[in-house]
Amino acid sequence: MIDQHQLREGFSRLGIRPGDLLLVHSALSSLGTVRGGADAVIDALLEAVGPGGTLMMPALSSDVFDPARSPSKVGLLTETFRGREGVLRSFHPSHSVTALGARAAEMVAGHLECPTACGEGTPYAKLMEAGGKILLLGVDQDRNTSLHGLEAMARLPFLKTVTRDYIDPCDGTVRSLEITLYPGPHRNFIGLDRRLREAGAMAVAKVGRAVCRLIDAREMRDLLLPELRRDPTVILCDNPHCRDCIAQRACVKRQRLESEDFLLSVVSNAAGHRLEEILATIEAEGVRHLELREINGREVIDFSDTELATLRSTLETKGIGITAVSSRRAMVDAGRLVETAVQLGAPAVVLPFGPSARAAAERAASAKLRLHLENRNESASDCQEHLQAIRESGALLAFNPARFAATGEKPFLKVYSKTPLRRWVGQLRFADGTFDGRPTLPGYGNGEVLELLSILRCASFDGPIVLDATPEFPFQQMMKAFWDALERI
């Protein structure tokens, strides 16, 4: 059993002082048995902040919001406080806040006019700006709603826009409010606990049976907001089975790719076997473009017209772009390759240098498509000779640095920098290997992949960077190599 006096002393030992602006998140049961129940806890908190202080609590709600009647959905303590005489409530249909004390009216004012639920201008942001404190009474950082405010301030890419309804007190009609940068599902806010503690922004102590955390709201903001802006994934977990965090990481990656001029494209069968698997795999990496080669173990050029129409419709519905249709066949039917690309709405076709190149170039030009020829065993001079012979078709080079390295040539220092081929690069194959032909992860061979990626970015290259997989290096390893390379340059 713990009483109001003991609670008051415990809150003072924790660091709550007269005049404090205090926002409390709570689990009443964590305290143990309290003589006087929720009211005794509220009274002890009011005593701790004194008449010059202000006590605040979240009063989150659902359904159609009515500020006078909608109950708080975040615990008995918050609902008891909401019903207290003199308590003010901010007008917001999802993340309202209640307050009592010297600055209560200031803290709850204007919430409905804020574009976000917890960001700039809201009671949560005002608390941080004013140097207030956050008390987590028997709960952890997952209940720290102010962290959602930091998400909104950082404008994290996985936040959403939602609509919530409320009753207009002037005429009783139901109105809708669009809320931007709305917090999503799972967060790893618990992982921020050590950062706050080690930085000295948070004190931890027991009050009754409850482990309580007292956080300096401004210090929390100043510590975590720059981190969130630098790396939005710091609040996401690493659980490979957490679908929420996988989807949110994909949003971060997609935003990163959208800031580039180039298009990151993945060869279809590198990402999986079945179409559903391929789409799920690239979606998790934020990739929105495919080079279509094989699906379900069949080359796409062997699909029937009906199958191609279904494939095109599916990709369009999913918002997936096609950068090219390709084939590994040395003697590919050029007409069928081009016809397939036209039916799929692809802008280009890709195949290795070889006997089919001239026919493919002519067919592609007549269909107003680009032909990208990939070097396999050809030297730079061979590629130059072949491309010059069909230049009138507009054919370009699908630059494969791993294969140039295997011929003993330096892909960047010689092939790109010293030959006319740099003017004819239509795409970069993100592949690496050694001079003796052994494949490596990109960035770990003699393909000078980082240098090529960097120089193309310097020229605002807007063609595809194409990622394939090999038996030695599966898709996930290749994707990690790509992100590592992008980070390094």
Please tell me whether residues 135 and 279 are part of one structural domain.
no
- Residue 354, pLDDT above cutoff 90: no
Can you give the pLDDT at residue 357?
86
The answer to whether residue 118 sits within a structural domain is yes
- Strand locations in 153-259, DSSP E? 160-167, 174-182, 202-207, 210-216
Contacts of 171 (CB under 8 A, 6+ apart): none
Can you give the pLDDT at residue 330?
67
- Residue 49, pLDDT above cutoff 70: yes
Can you give the pLDDT at residue 470?
84
CATH number of 412's domain: 3.20.20.150
Closest CA to 332 of 303, 307, 301, 308: 301
Average pLDDT estimate for 154-165: 96
Helix, strand, or coil (residue 9)? helix
Please say which residue of 235, 268, 288 terminates a domain.
235
What DSSP character marks residue 393? G
> Which residue type, as a one-letter code, is found at position 304?
S
Element (H, E) at 481: helix 475-488
378-388 per-position pLDDT tens digit? 999 999 999 99
Residues of the chain above pLDDT 70, percent: 100
Please tell me whether residues 130 and 190 are part of one structural domain.
yes
- Residue 97, pLDDT above cutoff 90: yes
398-421 per-position pLDDT tens digit? 999 999 999 999 999 999 999 999
Give the position of tokens 């924790």. Answer: 14
The answer to whether residue 324 sits within a structural domain is yes
Can you give the pLDDT at residue 332?
84
Other CB atoms within 10 Å distance of the CB of residue 472: 11
Please tell me whether residues 131 and 273 are part of one structural domain.
no
CB 445 within 8 A of CB 402: yes
Backbone angles phi, psi at 80, to 5 degrees: -65, -40
Helix, strand, or coil (residue 479)? helix
Residue 364: pLDDT band with limits 50, 70, 90: very high
What DSSP character marks residue 375? P
User: Count of domains in the chain?
Assistant: 2
Please tell me whether residues 78 and 185 are part of one structural domain.
yes
Residue 328: pLDDT band with limits 50, 70, 90: confident
The answer to whether residue 351 sits within a structural domain is yes
Can you give the pLDDT at residue 29?
96
Backbone angles phi, psi at 368, to 5 degrees: 60, 40
Please tell me whether residues 211 and 311 are part of one structural domain.
no
* Burial category of 83 from C-beta neighbours within 10 Å (exposed 0-12, middle 13-18, buried 19 and up): exposed
Contacts of 36 (CB under 8 A, 6+ apart): 3, 4, 43
Please tell me whether residues 338 and 460 are part of one structural domain.
yes
Give the position of tokens 């999802």. Answer: 94
The answer to whether residue 249 sits within a structural domain is no
More confident residue, 140 or 354: 140
| Cα distance between residue 463 and residue 448, in whole Å | 19
Can you give the pLDDT at residue 356?
81
Please tell me whether residues 120 and 13 are part of one structural domain.
yes
Please say which residue of 235, 269, 303 terminates a domain.
235
| Cα distance between residue 57 and residue 403, in whole Å | 63
| Cα distance between residue 242 and residue 253, in whole Å | 17
Closest CA to 148 of 98, 186, 100, 202: 186
The answer to whether residue 425 sits within a structural domain is yes
Please tell me whether residues 107 and 150 are part of one structural domain.
yes
Within 327-414, where are the H helices? Answer: 334-344, 357-366, 380-389, 401-406
The answer to whether residue 243 sits within a structural domain is no
Average pLDDT estimate for 9-30: 97
| Cα distance between residue 323 and residue 290, in whole Å | 6
Q: Is 206 left (phi over 0), alpha (psi -120 to 50) or beta?
A: beta
163-204 per-position pLDDT tens digit? 999 999 989 999 999 999 999 888 999 999 999 999 999 999
| Cα distance between residue 407 and residue 32, in whole Å | 74
Element (H, E) at 28: none
CB 220 within 8 A of CB 266: no
Sign of CA dihedral 274, 277, 278, 279: positive
Please tell me whether residues 162 and 82 are part of one structural domain.
yes
Please tell me the pTM assigned to this model. 0.86
| Cα distance between residue 109 and residue 19, in whole Å | 20
The answer to whether residue 139 sits within a structural domain is yes
Range of the domain at 266: 260-488
Mean pLDDT of the chain: 96
The answer to whether residue 481 sits within a structural domain is yes
Element (H, E) at 38: helix 37-49
Please tell me whether residues 297 and 215 are part of one structural domain.
no
Please tell me whether residues 325 and 231 are part of one structural domain.
no
102-138 per-position pLDDT tens digit? 999 999 999 999 999 999 999 999 999 999 999 999 9
Please say which residue of 235, 270, 300 terminates a domain.
235
Please tell me whether residues 205 and 295 are part of one structural domain.
no
Q: Describe the crossing of helices 146-154 and 217-230 by its angle, rounded to 10 degrees.
A: 40
